[in-house]
């Protein structure tokens, strides 16, 4: 099986290059989130949904009136804030991962097809994309939730349906560039099937970009989910979500600010993790950017 | 001249077609809802005839295609239907709320530029120097905070902890600003009511700042990278060799050319900015179309959702159109071709 | 660039400095700002029954009768009334001759006829449903009219002081039309509408020719602030003088503020759980009884309402005519589990249901729903709570598509059991989610019973039967909250109305 050598060298500087500070910090943060999400049942001090009606709006344990049982205090229904933040991480990562995979698949497949084959298909889909992008994403996703109904699956679907254009555009333009490269022409001349060329030459070239976008998309998905839960269009009430914590906490802004601060910090931390990772990977994996030494 | 005109006409045409297609998308998405708005409007004793009459009036009879044509026909005449919940024409609701949102968005754009242009220049200056890493990291942190979180943070800091700014509505009730243009700042100015002007502006600060803070980091990045690109251009080198000061070079040559990609970005990101108004207006009780949209969605008010969604899209298309036109005007290369 | 920056900074500075301005503008004793949670759905007060917006309507419009703090319907725009027959089908009303509309024109019986003719003809107006038995209105003298009803209507006088029963000005309305009226509505109430910004602000000015005399406070501004925390912020910072419907927890905190007075008070509204009878699961009386007994009502009151909200076991507010003193369905979790077992469910074999609730429509609504959901889950009825708007709920309920229980707040300023039980459980009405077919005849009998004591006793018996069958589960009597500037006299009423026309500065 012959493959044609790619211009980008994959030497042993690979791993060293990956050690860009953004990648490390972002990666560590993301791994922390994953760990928190995975080990939630062991990390959370209480059942996140258990209502202790006699202990509502307790302050964090270091404040006057706080209890060690509820390290970050309780919300209006007497539920442990810390446990809810921890479990909220689960939903955030679940939605982020599923939505990122979905948008990646849809956007990449369409992008590759459009960029590789060009012609009518390309024009059609690109026209649809321009249409899609005229829709403010928040408005579009809310409308979709209204149309589809609430629930975690529909939230993921809504994110995929709204954001697939992100992958599509980037992948498509990258594919257009790649297909002009010498080795692709050579492959055509040698009579390799399109599928093989796509899988063996085109996709690997596009791969770094996809990884970068994937991480970025995860951050975006977390934000969209938070927005949707904030307006009550996302998950049922027994699912713990940071956006729901925000919506609940707004009423207690005066005497229970920690109810708001905990999910705010959670959301920022998670989105920051994926943004850092995405940024860092972009620099590391794209040789052109590395040369310039900065971000575009 | 004719080239510009034909470009203009073509863009306008494509904008119209896009708007049409979007209205179809909106229509279809909303028809997915298993909701019967009629149930709210009729009393228990309604006969089938009554139900049919109201259905026809609302344009809800027939197939989806027929319904769409009815809606389109009315829309082209300026009739976007009536809100089921507010029982007022959609256009009337839009007329009072759209200027408010536009004002908010424009002010936040201004604030964003005020923050990001110096910011971008600063970051460019830090290129290769010690503070660059830190500044860049700071930028990524800012990028990770969506506008509605900024809104909440700003309310906590400037509304609760240090209550120096209002965070509710457009203006204090003790001021009566007549609605001439719908833009409160303009109207107050036209009235010569300086105190109302200042008060209206103070009400705009926090929500506009929340939007601006979510928008600025992106602009900063693009500005910085385009400054980096133009820095290596030939004419910049020549200017330097001719002995012009760094600031001079910056202001006269680089910024002008860095403006172009920045402008394009602003156009692209405007959609996001507009979408951000939904939650910001909700959080700040600001009477704009974002707030209207949230209310419409919560009440499953189909005609209103349709109308407002369409307006949102039209706004974005309009902005893109303006940005594209501006691009043509400003870009020397396109002009000569 | 630098110039722009300087201007911006200057403006910002100026804005901050002038922040003192509006706060100082506070000591204008003739103006009043009220932070209010809802806007009026439209300026046709006869079109909707929105209870929360009634206070605003009562400032601009006036009604034939009025429900006072003792929940008695007293004559208002009517001077007197008398039944012309024994069957309760012909009612003669004599109107006051000193009532003016805001455009200066005098109110006559013609205006009454116009308003109610319009209601009779237009089925989409709520007033049509409220006066369902009204068939015609005849003007016999400039200030006298006779209302004819299809069947005996003993409670119509209460309805004439209740939702949607406002008198519209005939000449003005006919002159400007529906749309014109919406833009510039006028009524016979104590205040004129001078400015309206939808969803934002309603500016009212005292009407000097108001028949009860011009109100003390000459200018009233209703600031529409749907957000309860924003309403709290507004009154705390002095931006408004009165804030209605703030979270109960805030009341305790604001009471400590020397400049404010804060109050929680029970009023004529009840929190109930509406159960759809057309969903098979809920047909089991054992299930419903179990759900009823599993709710710790006192616990809910303590957790969310400072213990001010009174637990109720009947579909009536405490001490109202439909209430039966001493009747109580106690909270008993063990009994609830037993009862549930008779329905075939338990913690090991749970039933899954949905509980719908509004969020921030009435105080602690969503919280209470979630607490109830946990109480039910603990006995074996696994409940998921779903947020829904009242508008959406009404739509589902009216088309019989509600597939879960709804936590609902039932307003009834009159306190009359016909408007509580008589609407909650009347199978023919769209308001009821539980439809018990035989009740139709029972209500027909009660609602045409001209002997008041017999009518009330009949309702009391029905209430007890309803409680035993748990057709609709009463939870708590609602509480209302209000916070105001200490220098303001703010009377509160059992009806829960916010009436700036009755306020005055000390």
Q: Which residue of A has its CA nearest to C389?
A: A232
pLDDT for the residue B38: 61
Greater pLDDT, B134 or C173? C173
Q: Which residue of A has its CA nearest to C233?
A: A254
Closest CA to A216 of A100, A121, A128, A125: A100
C5 falls in which pLDDT band (50, 70, 90)?
A: low
DSSP A74: B
Q: Are C434 and C277 in contact (CB under 8 A)?
A: yes
CA distances (Å), origin C457, targets B4, C311, C469: 84, 22, 19
Taking the C-alpha atoms of residue A143 and residue B296, their distance in angstroms, rounded to an integer, is 10
Comparing CB atoms, the residue among B156, B297, B298 nearest residue A253 is B156
Does the pLDDT of residue B303 top 60, yes or no? Answer: yes
Does the pLDDT of residue C22 top 70, yes or no? Answer: no
Does the pLDDT of residue B258 top 60, yes or no? Answer: yes
pLDDT for the residue B9: 81
pLDDT for the residue B174: 59
Comparing CB atoms, the residue among B127, B153, B294 nearest residue A264 is B153
C389 and B299 within 8 Å at the Cβ level: the answer is yes
Q: Which residues of chain A have a CB within 8 Å of the CB of C386?
A: 150, 236-237
A139 and B225 within 8 Å at the Cβ level: the answer is no
pLDDT for the residue A228: 92
CA distances (Å), origin C378, targets B158, C372, C373: 43, 10, 9
Q: Which residues of chain C have a CB within 8 Å of the CB of A255?
A: 249-250, 253
Q: Are A228 and A234 in contact (CB under 8 A)?
A: yes
Least confident residue range of A78-82, A167-171, A249-253, C189-193 = A249-253
Give the distance from CA A206 to its chain's centroid.
19
Mean pLDDT of all residues in A235-263: 84
CA distances (Å), origin C32, targets C196, C204, C219, C500, C504: 16, 10, 6, 8, 9
CB-based burial label for B134 (10 Å; 0-12, 13-18, 19+): exposed
CA dihedral A175→A178→A179→A182, nearest 10 degrees, is -170
pLDDT for the residue C260: 94
Closest CA to A163 of A117, A244, A95: A95
pLDDT for the residue A39: 95
Got the DSSP string for B298-309? HTT-HHHHHHHH
CA distances (Å), origin C327, targets C304, C313, C468: 24, 7, 11
Q: Which residues of chain B have a CB within 8 Å of the CB of C389?
A: 298-300
Tokens of residue B102, six digits = 């536009």
Which residues partner with C387 through β-bridges? C357
Mean pLDDT of all residues in A150-178: 89
pLDDT for the residue B57: 67
C202 falls in which pLDDT band (50, 70, 90)?
A: very high
Does the pLDDT of residue B128 top 80, yes or no? Answer: no
Q: Which residue of A has its CA nearest to B320?
A: A134
Does the pLDDT of residue C254 top 80, yes or no? Answer: yes
Residue written as tokens 């007549």? B178
Greater pLDDT, A129 or C399? A129
Taking the C-alpha atoms of residue C407 and residue C123, their distance in angstroms, rounded to an integer, is 28
Does the pLDDT of residue A124 top 80, yes or no? Answer: yes
* SS3 call for C96: coil
Least confident residue range of B188-192, B307-311, C115-119, C203-207 = B188-192
pLDDT for the residue A198: 78
B160 and A257 within 8 Å at the Cβ level: the answer is yes
Neighbours of A18 (CB within 10 A): 14
Comparing CB atoms, the residue among B33, B128, B144 nearest residue A147 is B33
Least confident residue range of B123-132, C107-116, C478-487 = B123-132
Which residues partner with C265 through β-bridges? C480
Residue ranges in C243-364 assigned as alpha helix (H): 248-255, 285-293, 297-304, 333-343
Top mean pLDDT of A60-64, A216-220, B32-36, B118-122 is at: A216-220
Q: Which residue of C has its CA nearest to B197?
A: C15
pLDDT for the residue B244: 66
B228 and A138 within 8 Å at the Cβ level: the answer is no
B282 and A260 within 8 Å at the Cβ level: the answer is no
This prediction has a pTM of 0.81
C25 and B117 within 8 Å at the Cβ level: the answer is no
Q: How many H-runs (helices) and E-runs (strands) does chain C carry?
A: 17, 18
Q: Which residue of A has its CA nearest to B304?
A: A143
Tens of pLDDT, residue by residue over C353-364, are: 999 998 877 888
pLDDT for the residue B283: 86
Q: Which residues of chain B have a CB within 8 Å of the CB of C182?
A: 88
Q: Which residue of C has its CA nearest to A233?
A: C387
C395 and B176 within 8 Å at the Cβ level: the answer is no
Neighbours of A59 (CB within 10 A): 18
Tens of pLDDT, residue by residue over C430-475, are: 778 899 888 999 998 998 888 899 999 999 999 999 999 999 999 9
Greater pLDDT, A125 or B61? A125
pLDDT for the residue C14: 46
Neighbours of B254 (CB within 10 A): 23
Tokens of residue A177, six digits = 């560039």
Edge-to-edge strand list for the sheet holding C90-95 = C78-83, C90-95, C144-149, C134-141
C370 falls in which pLDDT band (50, 70, 90)?
A: very high
C239 and B164 within 8 Å at the Cβ level: the answer is no
pLDDT for the residue C246: 87
| B317 to chain A, closest Cα gap in Å | 6
Does the pLDDT of residue C342 top 70, yes or no? Answer: yes
Average pLDDT, chain B: 80
Contacts of A294 (CB under 8 A, 6+ apart): A283, B127, B224, B225, B228
Tens of pLDDT, residue by residue over B209-239, are: 999 999 899 888 888 888 877 777 766 677 7
Does the pLDDT of residue A10 top 60, yes or no? Answer: no
C167 falls in which pLDDT band (50, 70, 90)?
A: very high
Tens of pLDDT, residue by residue over C293-311, are: 999 999 999 999 989 999 9
Does the pLDDT of residue A112 top 80, yes or no? Answer: yes
Give the distance from CA B322 to its chain's centroid.
13
C172 falls in which pLDDT band (50, 70, 90)?
A: very high
Average pLDDT, chain C: 88
**Which of B173, B283, B292 is the best mutation test for C, with the most CBs of C within 10 A?**
B173
pLDDT for the residue C406: 95
C239 and B168 within 8 Å at the Cβ level: the answer is yes
pLDDT for the residue C1: 42
* SS3 call for C211: coil
Q: Are B215 and B112 in contact (CB under 8 A)?
A: yes
CA distances (Å), origin C118, targets C113, C121, C174: 8, 5, 11
pLDDT for the residue B34: 62
Instruction: Tally C-beta pairs within 8 A across A and B.
Output: 127
Greater pLDDT, B50 or A291? B50
A1 falls in which pLDDT band (50, 70, 90)?
A: very low
Does the pLDDT of residue A3 top 90, yes or no? Answer: no
Taking the C-alpha atoms of residue B29 and residue A72, their distance in angstroms, rounded to an integer, is 42
pLDDT for the residue B11: 78
Got the DSSP string for B168-214? SSSS-TT-----SSS-HHHHHHHHT-HHHHHHHHHHHHHHHHHHHHH
Least confident residue range of A119-123, A172-176, B118-122, B229-233 = B229-233
């Amino acid at each position: 099986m012959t493959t044609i050598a790619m211009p980008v060298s994959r030497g042993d500087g690979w791993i060293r290059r990956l050690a860009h500070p953004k990648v490390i910090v972002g990666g560590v943060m993301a791994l922390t989130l994953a760990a928190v999400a995975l080990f939630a049942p062991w990390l959370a001090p209480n059942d996140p949904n258990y209502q202790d009606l006699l202990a509502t709006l307790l302050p964090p344990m270091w404040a006057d009136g706080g209890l060690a049982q509820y390290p970050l205090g309780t919300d209006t229904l007497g539920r442990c804030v810390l446990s809810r933040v921890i479990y909220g991480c689960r939903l955030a990562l679940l939605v982020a991962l599923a939505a990122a995979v979905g948008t990646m698949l849809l956007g990449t497949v369409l992008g590759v097809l459009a960029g590789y084959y060009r012609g009518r298909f390309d024009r059609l889909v690109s026209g649809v994309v321009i249409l899609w992008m005229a829709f403010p994403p928040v408005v579009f996703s809310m409308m979709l939730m209204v149309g589809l109904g609430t629930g975690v699956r529909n939230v993921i679907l809504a994110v995929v349906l709204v954001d697939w254009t992100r992958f599509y555009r980037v992948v498509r333009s990258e594919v257009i560039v790649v297909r002009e490269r010498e080795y692709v022409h050579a492959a055509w001349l040698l009579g390799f099937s399109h599928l093989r060329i796509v899988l063996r030459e085109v996709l690997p070239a596009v791969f770094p970009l996809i990884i970068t976008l994937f991480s970025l998309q995860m951050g975006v998905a977390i934000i969209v989910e938070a927005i949707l839960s904030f307006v009550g269009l996302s998950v049922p009430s027994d699912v713990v979500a940071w956006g729901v914590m925000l919506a609940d906490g707004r009423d207690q802004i005066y005497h229970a600010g920690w109810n708001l601060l905990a999910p705010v910090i959670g959301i920022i931390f998670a989105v920051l993790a994926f943004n850092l990772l995405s940024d860092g990977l972009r620099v590391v994996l794209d040789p052109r950017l590395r040369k310039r030494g900065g971000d575009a | 001249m004719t080239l510009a005109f034909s470009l203009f006409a073509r863009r306008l045409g494509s904008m119209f077609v896009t708007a049409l297609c979007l209205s179809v998308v909106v229509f279809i998405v909303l028809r997915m809802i298993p909701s019967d708005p009629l149930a709210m409007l009729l009393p228990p004793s309604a006969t089938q005839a009554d139900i049919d009459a109201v259905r026809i009036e609302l344009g809800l009879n027939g197939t989806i295609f027929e319904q769409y044509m009815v809606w389109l026909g009315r829309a082209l005449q300026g009739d976007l239907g009536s809100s089921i919940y507010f029982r007022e024409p959609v256009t009337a609701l839009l007329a009072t709320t759209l200027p408010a949102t536009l004002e908010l968005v424009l002010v936040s754009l201004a604030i964003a530029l005020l923050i990001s242009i110096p910011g971008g220049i600063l970051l460019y200056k830090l290129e290769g120097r010690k503070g660059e890493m830190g500044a860049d990291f700071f930028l990524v942190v800012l990028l990770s905070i969506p506008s509605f979180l900024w809104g909440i943070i700003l309310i906590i800091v400037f509304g609760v902890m240090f209550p120096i700014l209002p965070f509710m509505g457009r203006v204090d009730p003790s001021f009566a600003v007549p609605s001439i243009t719908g833009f409160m700042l303009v109207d107050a100015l036209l009235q010569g009511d300086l105190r109302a002007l200042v008060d209206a502006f103070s009400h705009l600060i926090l929500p506009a700042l929340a939007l601006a803070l979510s928008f600025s980091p992106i602009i900063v990045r693009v500005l910085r990278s385009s400054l980096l690109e133009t820095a290596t251009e030939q004419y910049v080198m020549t200017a330097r060799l001719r002995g012009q000061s760094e600031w001079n070079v910056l202001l006269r040559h680089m910024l002008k050319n860095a403006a172009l990609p920045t402008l394009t970005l602003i156009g692209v990101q405007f959609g996001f900015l507009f979408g951000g108004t939904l939650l910001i207006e909700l959080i700040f009780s600001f009477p704009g179309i974002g707030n209207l949209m949230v209310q419409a969605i919560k009440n499953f008010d189909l005609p209103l959702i349709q109308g407002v969604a369409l307006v949102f899209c039209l706004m974005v298309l309009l902005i893109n159109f303006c940005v594209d036109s501006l691009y043509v005007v400003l870009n020397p290369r396109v002009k000569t071709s | 660039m630098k110039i722009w920056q300087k201007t911006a900074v200057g403006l910002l500075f100026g804005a901050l400095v002038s922040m003192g301005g509006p706060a100082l503008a506070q000591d204008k004793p003739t103006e009043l700002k009220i932070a209010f949670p809802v806007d009026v759905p439209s300026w046709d007060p006869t079109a909707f029954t929105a209870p929360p917006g009634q206070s605003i309507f009562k400032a601009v419009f006036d009604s034939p009768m009025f429900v006072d703090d003792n929940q008695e319907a007293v004559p208002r725009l009517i001077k007197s009334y008398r039944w012309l027959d024994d069957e309760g089908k012909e009612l003669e009303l004599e109107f006051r001759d000193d009532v003016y509309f805001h455009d200066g024109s005098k109110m006559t019986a013609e205006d009454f006829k116009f308003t109610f003719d319009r209601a009779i003809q237009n089925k989409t107006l709520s007033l049509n449903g409220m006066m369902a038995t009204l068939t015609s209105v005849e003007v016999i003298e400039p200030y006298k009219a006779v209302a004819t009803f299809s069947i005996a209507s003993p409670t119509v006088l209460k309805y004439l002081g209740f939702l949607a029963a406002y008198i519209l000005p005939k000449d003005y309305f006919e002159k400007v039309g529906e749309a014109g009226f919406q833009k510039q509505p006028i009524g016979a109430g104590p205040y004129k509408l001078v400015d309206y910004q939808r969803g934002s602000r309603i500016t009212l000015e005292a009407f000097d020719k108001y028949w009860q005399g011009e109100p003390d406070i000459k200018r009233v501004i209703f600031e529409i602030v749907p957000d309860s925390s924003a309403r709290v912020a507004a009154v705390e910072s002095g931006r408004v003088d009165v804030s209605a419907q703030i979270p109960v927890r805030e009341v305790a905190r604001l009471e400590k503020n020397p400049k404010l007075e804060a109050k929680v008070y029970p009023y004529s509204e009840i929190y109930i759980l509406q159960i759809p009878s057309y969903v098979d699961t809920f047909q089991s009386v054992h299930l419903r009884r179990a759900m009823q007994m599993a709710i710790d009502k006192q616990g809910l009151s303590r957790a969310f309402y400072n213990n001010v909200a009174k637990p109720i076991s009947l579909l009536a507010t405490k001490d109202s005519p439909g209430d039966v003193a001493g009747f109580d369905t106690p909270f008993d979790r063990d009994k609830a589990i037993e009862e549930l077992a008779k329905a075939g469910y338990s913690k090991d074999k749970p039933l899954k249901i949905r509980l719908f609730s509004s969020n921030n429509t009435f105080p602690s609504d969503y919280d209470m729903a979630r607490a109830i959901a946990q109480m039910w889950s603990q006995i074996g009825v696994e409940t998921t709570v779903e947020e829904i708007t009242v508008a959406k709920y009404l739509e589902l309920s009216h088309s019989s598509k509600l597939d879960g229980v709804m936590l609902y707040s039932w307003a009834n300023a009159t306190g009359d059991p016909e408007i509580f039980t008589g609407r909650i459980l009347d199978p023919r009405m769209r308001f009821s989610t539980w439809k018990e077919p035989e009740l139709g005849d029972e209500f027909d009998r009660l609602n045409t019973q001209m002997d008041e004591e017999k009518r009330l006793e009949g309702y009391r018996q029905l209430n007890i039967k309803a409680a035993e069958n748990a057709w609709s589960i009463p939870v708590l009597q609602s509480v209302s909250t209000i916070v105001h500037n200490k220098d303001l006299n703010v009377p509160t009423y059992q009806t829960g109305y916010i009436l700036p026309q009755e306020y005055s500065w000390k």
